[in-house]
Amino acid sequence: MNRERVHIIKIGGNIIDDDQRLPSFLALFSRLEGKKILVHGGGKLATRLATELNIPQQMVEGRRITDAETLKIITMVYAGYINKNIVAGLQAEGSNAIGLTGADGNLVLSHKRQSSSIDYGYVGDVDQVNGELLHQMLGNGLTIVVAPVTHDGHGQLLNTNADTIAQSIAVSLSGYYEVTLVYSFEKPGVLLDVEDNSSVIPELNPGLYAKYRADEKIFAGMIPKIDNAFAALSAGVKKVIIGKAEELDKLISGYGGTSISL
C-alpha cells in the first residue's frame, strides 16, 4: 500500500533576506500539493541587529558562537520576525500555516554542544523530534513553519543548525509518511565547479561522493549538507534533493537539482 507523502523544504538566508524573492518562493511552496513543512534558517538580520546593538559576533569555521546576548537576538529574529513573516506570507497564499520553535509542543529536544576545543555557547545538537505532534498537525491540514531554535528540556533555549533540524524532522516522520527532503539554496544543485552553475551533478551516491571529495571537487560548504542528506536516507527518508529554491516545483517533479541516493 502506498503511503501518503510529505515534503520537508529547508530554505536559507538567500531567500529569507530578499524581500522580492521570499514572497515568490512562498507562492511556489504554497502550490505544492499535499502535506508540507518549511524549515528556515536565520539570514543576516540577526547579525545586522547585533551590530546595531553593539553586541560582538564571533564565527568559528562558519558557525556562529552563541553567547547569552546573541541568543536573545536570535530568538527574537528567527522565532519572532522571520518565522511570523513567513507564516503571514503563506496565509496570504491560502496555506493555513503555523509557526513553531523546537520548544513549542516539545517539538525538538536538544543538548548544549560540547567541544574540547571550542565553546560554542548556547548552540544545540538535536536529540529527538516529536514526530507525533507533527503528524497530528499535518493531519489537521496545517502547513508547519519551523524556526531554528530548540530547547534542552530544562528551560534553556538553544540555537540549532536548520539543515540538521530539517533532517531530524524528516527522519521523525519517515514512520508515518513517504518523506521527501529538499535542501534549497542559491545554487542549482551540487556543483563540480562552484563557479559554473552548469556543472550540476544530477545524482550523487556514496561512491561518487567519496571520489569527488578525494579529488576536492565538492565545495567544502556543501559537505555538511550532503552528510545530512545521506544520514536522512539511511534513517528511512525516501528521497533527498539539493537544488535552487526558485526551482522548487521542478525539483519535486524530478527535473533539475542533485538527487542524493544510497
pLDDT at residue 19, rounded to an integer:
92
Q: What is residue 61's predicted lDDT score, i.e. its pLDDT?
A: 66
**Cell numbers that stand for 217 in this block:** 571537487
Cα–Cα dist 23/183, whole Å: 18
Q: How would DSSP label each residue in the chain?
A: -PPPEEEEEEE-HHHHT-TTHHHHHHHHHHTS-SEEEEEE---SHHHHHHHHTT---EEETTEEEB-HHHHHHHIIIIIIIIHHHHHHHHHHTT--EEEE-TTGGG-EEEEE---SS---BSBEEEEEE-HHHHHHHHHTTPEEEE-SEEE-SSS-EEE--HHHHHHHHHHHHTTTSEEEEEEEESSSS-BSSTT-TT-B-SEE-HHHHHHHHHTT-S-GGGHHHHHHHHHHHHTT-SEEEEEEGGGHHHHHHT-SSEEE--
Q: What single letter denotes the amino acid at residue 262?
A: L
Residue 125 resides in a domain:
yes
The count of domains in the chain is 1
Judge whether 61 lies within some domain. yes
What's the pLDDT score for residue 140? 97
Is 258 within the bounds of a domain?
no
pLDDT at 224: 87
Mean pLDDT split into 10-residue runs, the chain, 262 residues: 89 92 96 96 89 87 83 96 98 98 98 88 97 98 98 98 96 97 93 91 94 88 90 95 94 92 90
pLDDT in tens, 156-215: 999 999 999 999 999 999 999 999 999 998 899 999 988 899 999 999 999 999 999 998
Residue 10 lies in a domain: yes
With a CB cutoff of 8 Å and minimum separation 6, the contacts of 79 are: 99, 101, 147, 149
Residue 259 placed within a domain: no
Amino acid at 130: N
pTM: 0.95
Q: Are the C-beta atoms of 197 and 243 separated by less than 8 Å? A: no
In a domain, 49, yes or no: yes
How much is the pLDDT for 1?
55
Structural domain of 88: 5-186
Question: Domain with 77 in it: what CATH number?
Answer: 3.40.1160.10
The answer to whether position 104 is within a domain reads yes
Asked if residue 130 is part of any domain, the answer here is yes
